[in-house]
Amino acid sequence: MLWMSVCECKESKYGHVQSPLYPEPYPVGLYMQWYLKVPLGYQIQLTFNHLDIEPFANCSKDSLTVLHDNEVLGKFCGQTSTDPHHPGKNPIMSPSNHVQLVFETDESRPQMHLGFFVFYEAVAVDCGIPDLPDLVALTEEHPLTTYKQNITFKCSSIFYQLVGHANFTCDASGNWVSESGQNIYQNAPQCVPECGMNEEFFPRGRVYGGERARLKQIPWQLLMKDRMRVGASLISDRWALTAATVMDIYESHTLKFYGGMIDGKDRNAVIMETEKIIIHPDYERKILGVDRTTYDNDIALVKMSERVPLSFKIRPVCLPEKSAGPVMKGAMGTVSGYGLTENRTISQFLQYAHLQEYSEVPCFQSDLKITDNMFCAGGDEADSCSGDNGGPLVLPMLGTGSPNKPYRLEGIVSWGPRCGNKEFKGYYTKVQNYLDWIRETMEKN
């Protein structure tokens, strides 16, 4: 048996490999190897100008095998393209800048075969345009995508921000790689809604005893009005948070929420239809004829059936950060909603009021159990009221937010005494206690 190994070590950009004696019939008892290499940043393209190797099942007698780092790219034999293992004129592209060819023949030869002639050439590595996640776009419309070229990503909407690496380079293996060396498919950039921003108006006004909001001022406020009056807060482009109390009987229903408005009768409001309503598993459900013992875990997630079209009029509020001590840290917050006003009428327009936290427990007389998942807040003749349930209490106080201090959903309107009495206090669900549940539920659904 003739054994031979050939190395094309000069990194030529083109050349050819042929069987011994080609175009005469090749000898029997051969084992030959060729190692081909081209410059870094190129791939090797093999084109079969001719292949005539004894055909046999699985090419188990005579064969030409193409390998890359011990991975078989193809094992060939046959005389024409109709043979199952014949490559025909189809070129083979190596994953990187080197490839190995192995030609084996056994001792038998029922008839003469001419062997093969393969032309090879270096082809610049091209990473191509990667598959982009939703809302992720290229900064250039037609960027160069070959070896060492760079591409940069952005979000296609100003209401989203890019999370992850923005800049990637095409490497020698044909992969887009970030500055930290991560493959784009290992750590693809994502566009997530920018939260907690609004169009500030800095009003001095101080819901019940509140001021009328202006358009774009509280863009995360949602309203359900068709079955009962319920508030909610948009927290992403698909999810909203509200109170379990107001969702208990609607869990299996398809509901409509309205946003992007300050007038409850606005015909141009953004209408969102629910896909799923998820009430916290530890919330005490309503049982007919049984008195409630607590409003603990009064929180529910609402998933919309479609992505909400974000704009200056409708955009999410940020989730809070975990912290010790009082939720509001001695600062004033803002509650908003379309509930009862001091005139004891349902408000057509979105109202807001500024509240402070009361740390004494309980902050008003009640037989219901108070837990650490609640906090009490109220204002100077201002309060949340019927119809506001499920709505937001945000920090900082409306009119004092900034890009460095976005509005965060600290509380959800939960329960209290008769609104507008001398106490002017109510309990709010402490959202920061549910961050893990919120994120895990959204990821799983």
| Domain segments of the chain as ranges | 2-124, 136-193, 211-444
What integer pLDDT is reported at residue 9 of this predicted model? 54
The topology (CATH level 3) of 2-124 is Jelly Rolls (2.60.120)
What integer pLDDT is reported at residue 108 of this predicted model? 84
What integer pLDDT is reported at residue 388 of this predicted model? 78
What integer pLDDT is reported at residue 47 of this predicted model? 96
What integer pLDDT is reported at residue 205 of this predicted model? 38
- This prediction's pTM: 0.80
What integer pLDDT is reported at residue 173 of this predicted model? 86
What integer pLDDT is reported at residue 2 of this predicted model? 60
CATH of domain 136-193: 2.10.70.10
What integer pLDDT is reported at residue 381 of this predicted model? 57
What integer pLDDT is reported at residue 288 of this predicted model? 78
What whole-number distance in Å separates Cα of residue 277 and Cα of residue 284?
Answer: 16
What integer pLDDT is reported at residue 342 of this predicted model? 54
What integer pLDDT is reported at residue 286 of this predicted model? 82
What integer pLDDT is reported at residue 344 of this predicted model? 58
What whole-number distance in Å separates Cα of residue 73 and Cα of residue 69?
Answer: 10
Query: Residue ranges of the chain with pLDDT lower than 70?
Result: 1-11, 201-210, 340-345, 380-387, 418-423
The topology (CATH level 3) of 211-444 is Thrombin, subunit H (2.40.10)
Phi, psi (rounded to 5 degrees) for 218 = -130, 65
